[in-house]
């Protein structure tokens, strides 16, 4: 087990590596040639169009101003400077509220750490149990933990009291935060300028009608049932094939540009092969080949577009119905239309760029079956994922490779190669799985049939959280696979499970400290380096880019990957809550993680990420719920730990804690959640009235006309954007989102792929 010295050494190594990443970042970001990698957000917003420092030819690529290198950490205070209100304008509410999760971690754990160090550390330190025993499996760290307290000691009451204090403090912070975020959301929605989704409702499961087309049927239904409010509607075409064709064409166009640039540079006619990835087949002139391909695809695309628009079967039974007022839309979105609750399903339309077009036409029964299958699949993924990996690992040993690919035998027999394969291969299968996992989870969410990207991300985050909870947290505590845990869950009494886990918690503290430093500290420092986008940008820049516009398109600002990073935060919060009363020495490490992440992500959000949608912090109820789950897990584990420490009279005092926590959750849910689900009629009425007074002559029909057209049909996209811009620049209501609107269609077409 680790001593203070070991931990110190590990901390030094990790701090050093994090520091070196930061230095690398500081140097790279100052090079003008990397400007589009580290400041893409500003390019996207149109504020920046070329690196800031102009001058000699060399200084276009390399920064020669050595003074700037000295202040290499000055991005940190800069990242903190922007006030929150401006941040909301600059990057949207989603990003601003996401940052608040890190702040929430700090708000919870800084006071907890102070209290724990003031009260529990002295209590533990003077417990003196471990000094008496000569057991070498205990380390210095454990002297500060609850393990140092004698079983059945009166000192354990201190831990119980502190558990209550910690829980109540967490309640206080959580409730405040929920209230603040709910208010931010309401203010955000209220201050927003006119947007199509405020007037529009997504109607799904439109029943087939033998006499009318979908469009007529929708119009008649809403004219009858919402006579005073119905304005217009937009049917949804099944344009999945068309989108595929467009994506394919785009790929060929990239190759064409590549070969054209090549030709210009070398003046040598480039050639390619017709086979797969240009690896085999007949040799041909590359430019001609791709030009022909693109022409063919364009024709196919046009034919398909014609077919989709004219074929009644290409219209899916879903529509975007727009209303004359926000009040009318709010009413339609919140009420049931038909006596059969599986048809004419209405819900708020997502933002146009947030829509996941593929899922708009799934019938009700299919949807319930899909959810059932995915729930079963998730269960197997979490508890049985180790089997296929073990299978691959068993294949990927030396003997297996020799058998399948006998010609590699001589190579493999070389000592160095052999040990490399044996050392690396088994790990690789697991690593590849973990990299692909978020993708698998996202695919599962897509199969579940949700209709917006924001919902898909939220659902994936939930799945990922469960995976981390079972396989990383619980799996590390009782070392063993998830399946072994499942077995112990099934074969142990419910009261025994917290004991089994609780008793090994203090022993795992050093492991989790190391984990926090490697994954939390160094991992976040890697994030800011953006290695992959850096390489990809320079590749594109070299081979594909000709004009500045090309260069702008080659930028990949990326976006906040909520589905991956939020569950990670929750894991650290769980660690902190579990160890706050057990081994408080872990808290400072977690606090460093939260503080460092906060600065890094604030920098990234300001300078890099370009969100593809804006959900108005709709994810907060999920964050809150998972935090409550963390709290309950930590309480149950504490209960289990104490009951193994012979504190029979003291332990029952902890039983009310989880009950109060569940009640607190229900209270918060009732009090705040609807701000994230519903849109109150009062607010709708206020906005409608204001609008009527300020713009009596507004032509809403024109405004909404093309808002919900599938992105592949947006040929006349720029004209529409023009109209929107004009209106948004009207002097009556100041808007803040005109700059990003040009890129909407970009983002959503990218994401729907």
Pick the binder of a copy of itself from 663, 694, 702, 753 (CB under 8 A).
663
Angle between helices 326-334 and 681-694 (to 10 degrees): 160
The yes or no reply on residue 473 touching a copy of itself (CB under 8 A) is no
Shortest Å, Cβ 719 to a copy of itself? 36
The yes or no reply on residue 186 touching a copy of itself (CB under 8 A) is yes
Taking the least distance from each CB to a copy of itself, the nearer of 291 and 334 is 334
The yes or no reply on residue 532 touching a copy of itself (CB under 8 A) is no
Shortest Å, Cβ 368 to a copy of itself? 5
Taking the least distance from each CB to a copy of itself, the nearer of 434 and 678 is 678
Pick the binder of a copy of itself from 303, 376, 424, 734 (CB under 8 A).
376
Alpha carbon distance 521, 225 (integer Å): 57
Pick the binder of a copy of itself from 231, 675, 707, 720 (CB under 8 A).
675
Summarize the chain as % helix, strand, coil (round to 5). Answer: 70, 5, 25
Q: In what order do the strands lie in the sheet with 345-348?
A: 230-237, 315-323, 200-204, 345-348
The yes or no reply on residue 341 touching a copy of itself (CB under 8 A) is yes
Number of residues lying near a copy of itself (CB under 8 A): 49
Shortest Å, Cβ 522 to a copy of itself? 40
**What sign results for the dihedral spanned by CA atoms 435, 441, 442, 446?**
positive
Pick the binder of a copy of itself from 12, 58, 64, 372 (CB under 8 A).
372
The yes or no reply on residue 162 touching a copy of itself (CB under 8 A) is no
Residues 6+ apart with CB under 8 A from 459: 445, 448, 450
Torsion-angle region of residue 285: left (phi > 0), alpha (psi -120 to 50) or beta? beta
Span from 67-75, 146-154, 196-204, 666-674 in contact with a copy of itself (CB under 8 A): 666-674
Element holding 129 (H helix, E strand): helix 129-132
The yes or no reply on residue 655 touching a copy of itself (CB under 8 A) is no
Rg (CA), the chain: 29
Pick the binder of a copy of itself from 368, 422, 542, 702 (CB under 8 A).
368
Task: Give the 3-state secondary structure of residue 102.
Answer: helix
The yes or no reply on residue 377 touching a copy of itself (CB under 8 A) is no
The yes or no reply on residue 334 touching a copy of itself (CB under 8 A) is yes
- C-alpha distances (whole Å) from 123 to each of 113, 116, 167, 575, 584 are 14, 10, 20, 21, 12
The yes or no reply on residue 422 touching a copy of itself (CB under 8 A) is no
**What sign results for the dihedral spanned by CA atoms 124, 127, 131, 134?**
negative
**Residue 283's beta-bridge partner residues?**
273
Q: Which of residues 209-248 bind a copy of itself (CB under 8 A)?
A: 221, 224-226, 228
Token couple for 210: 């033998």
Span from 49-57, 106-114, 294-302, 660-668 in contact with a copy of itself (CB under 8 A): 660-668
Strands 315-323 and 200-204: what pairing?
antiparallel
The yes or no reply on residue 264 touching a copy of itself (CB under 8 A) is no
HSE-up (13 A, CA, CB side) for residue 124 = 24
Pick the binder of a copy of itself from 302, 674, 694, 702 (CB under 8 A).
674
Q: What is the DSSP string of 727-745?
A: HHT-SSS--S-HHHHTTHH
The yes or no reply on residue 644 touching a copy of itself (CB under 8 A) is no
Token couple for 306: 């014609």
The yes or no reply on residue 70 touching a copy of itself (CB under 8 A) is no
Shortest Å, Cβ 238 to a copy of itself? 25
The yes or no reply on residue 673 touching a copy of itself (CB under 8 A) is yes
The yes or no reply on residue 339 touching a copy of itself (CB under 8 A) is yes
The yes or no reply on residue 208 touching a copy of itself (CB under 8 A) is no
Alpha carbon distance 155, 401 (integer Å): 59
CB 720 within 8 A of CB 251: no
Pick the binder of a copy of itself from 70, 136, 435, 493 (CB under 8 A).
493
Alpha carbon distance 436, 438 (integer Å): 6
Shortest Å, Cβ 339 to a copy of itself? 5
| Nearest Cα to Cα of residue 543 among 134, 748, 311, 262 | 262
CB 745 within 8 A of CB 717: yes
Token couple for 672: 């705040």
CB 271 within 8 A of CB 284: yes
Taking the least distance from each CB to a copy of itself, the nearer of 322 and 597 is 322
CB 749 within 8 A of CB 210: no
Taking the least distance from each CB to a copy of itself, the nearer of 674 and 699 is 674
Shortest Å, Cβ 682 to a copy of itself? 5
The yes or no reply on residue 164 touching a copy of itself (CB under 8 A) is no
Taking the least distance from each CB to a copy of itself, the nearer of 252 and 489 is 489
The yes or no reply on residue 659 touching a copy of itself (CB under 8 A) is yes
Element holding 692 (H helix, E strand): helix 681-694
Taking the least distance from each CB to a copy of itself, the nearer of 44 and 499 is 499
**Residue 113's beta-bridge partner residues?**
none
Residues within the interface to a copy of itself (CB under 8 A)? 186, 221, 224-226, 228, 330-331, 334-339, 341-342, 344, 364-365, 368-369, 371-372, 376, 489-496, 659, 663, 666-667, 670-675, 678-683, 685
């Amino acid at each position: 087990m680790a001593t203070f010295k070991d931990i110190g050494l590990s901390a030094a190594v990790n701090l050093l590596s994090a520091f070196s990443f930061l230095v690398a970042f500081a140097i790279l970001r100052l090079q003008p040639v990397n400007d589009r990698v580290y400041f893409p957000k500003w390019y996207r917003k149109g504020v920046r169009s070329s690196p800031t420092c102009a001058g000699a030819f060399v200084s276009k690529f390399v920064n020669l101003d050595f003074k700037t290198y000295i202040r290499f950490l000055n991005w940190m205070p800069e990242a903190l400077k922007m006030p929150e209100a401006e941040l909301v304008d600059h990057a949207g509410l989603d990003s601003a509220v996401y940052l608040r999760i890190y702040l929430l971690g700090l708000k919870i754990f800084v006071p907890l750490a102070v209290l724990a160090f003031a009260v529990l550390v002295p209590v533990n330190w003077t417990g003196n149990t471990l000094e008496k025993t000569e057991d070498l499996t205990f380390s210095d760290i454990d002297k500060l933990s609850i393990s140092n307290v004698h079983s059945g000691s009166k000192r354990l009451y201190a831990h119980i009291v502190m558990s209550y204090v910690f829980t109540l403090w967490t309640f206080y912070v959580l409730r405040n935060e929920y209230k603040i975020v709910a208010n931010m959301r309401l203010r955000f929605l209220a201050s927003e300028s006119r947007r199509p989704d405020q007037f529009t409702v997504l109607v799904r499961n439109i029943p087939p009608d033998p006499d009318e087309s979908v469009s007529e049927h929708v119009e008649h239904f809403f004219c009858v049932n919402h006579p005073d409010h119905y304005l217009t509607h937009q049917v949804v075409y099944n344009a999945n094939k068309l989108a595929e064709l467009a994506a394919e064409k785009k790929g060929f166009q990239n190759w064409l540009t590549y070969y054209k640039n090549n030709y210009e540079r070398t003046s040598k006619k480039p050639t390619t092969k017709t086979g797969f990835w240009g690896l085999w087949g007949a040799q041909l002139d590359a430019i001609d080949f791709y030009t022909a391909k693109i022409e063919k695809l364009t024709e196919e695309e046009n034919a398909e577009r014609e077919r989709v628009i004219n074929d009644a079967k290409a219209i899916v039974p879903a529509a975007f119905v727009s209303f004359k007022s926000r009040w009318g839309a709010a009413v339609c979105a919140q009420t049931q239309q038909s006596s059969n609750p599986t048809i004419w399903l209405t819900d708020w339309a997502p933002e146009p760029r947030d829509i996941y077009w593929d899922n708009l036409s799934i019938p009700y029964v299919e949807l319930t079956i899909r959810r059932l299958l995915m729930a079963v699949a998730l269960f197997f993924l979490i508890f049985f994922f180790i089997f296929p990996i073990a299978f691959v690992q068993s294949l990927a040993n030396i003997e297996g490779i020799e058998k399948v690919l006998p010609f590699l035998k001589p190579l493999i027999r070389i000592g160095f190669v052999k040990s490399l394969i044996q050392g690396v291969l088994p790990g690789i299968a697991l690593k590849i799985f973990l990299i692909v996992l978020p993708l698998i989870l996202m695919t599962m969410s897509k199969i579940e049939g949700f209709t917006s990207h924001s919902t898909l991300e939220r659902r994936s985050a939930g799945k990922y959280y469960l995976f981390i909870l079972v396989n990383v947290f619980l799996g590390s505590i009782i070392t063993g696979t998830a399946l072994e845990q499942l077995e112990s869950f099934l074969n142990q009494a419910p009261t025994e499970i917290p004991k089994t886990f609780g008793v090994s918690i203090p022993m795992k503290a050093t492991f989790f400290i190391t984990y926090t430093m490697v994954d939390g500290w160094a991992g976040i420092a890697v994030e800011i380096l953006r290695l992959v986008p850096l390489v990809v940008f320079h590749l594109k820049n070299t081979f594909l880019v000709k004009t500045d516009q090309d260069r702008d398109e080659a930028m990949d600002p990326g976006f906040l990957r909520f589905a991956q990073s939020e569950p990670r935060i929750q894991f650290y919060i769980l660690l902190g809550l579990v160890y706050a009363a057990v081994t408080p020495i872990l808290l400072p490490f977690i606090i460093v993680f939260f503080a460092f992440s906060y600065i890094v992500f604030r920098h990234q959000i300001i300078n890099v990420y370009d969100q593809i949608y804006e959900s108005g912090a709709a994810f907060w109820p999920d964050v809150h719920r998972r935090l409550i789950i963390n709290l309950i897990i930590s309480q149950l584990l504490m209960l289990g730990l104490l009951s193994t420490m012979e504190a029979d009279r003291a332990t029952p005092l902890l039983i009310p804690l989880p009950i109060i926590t569940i009640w607190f959750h229900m209270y918060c849910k009732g009090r705040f959640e609807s701000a994230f689900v519903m849109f109150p009629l009062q607010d709708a009425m206020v906005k409608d009235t204001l609008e009527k007074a300020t713009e009596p002559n507004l032509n809403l029909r024109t405004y909404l006309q093309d808002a919900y057209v599938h992105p592949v049909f947006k040929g006349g996209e720029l004209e529409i954007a023009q109209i929107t811009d004009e209106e948004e620049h009207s002097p009556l209501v100041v808007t803040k989102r005109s700059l990003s609107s040009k890129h909407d269609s970009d983002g959503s077409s990218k994401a729907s792929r």
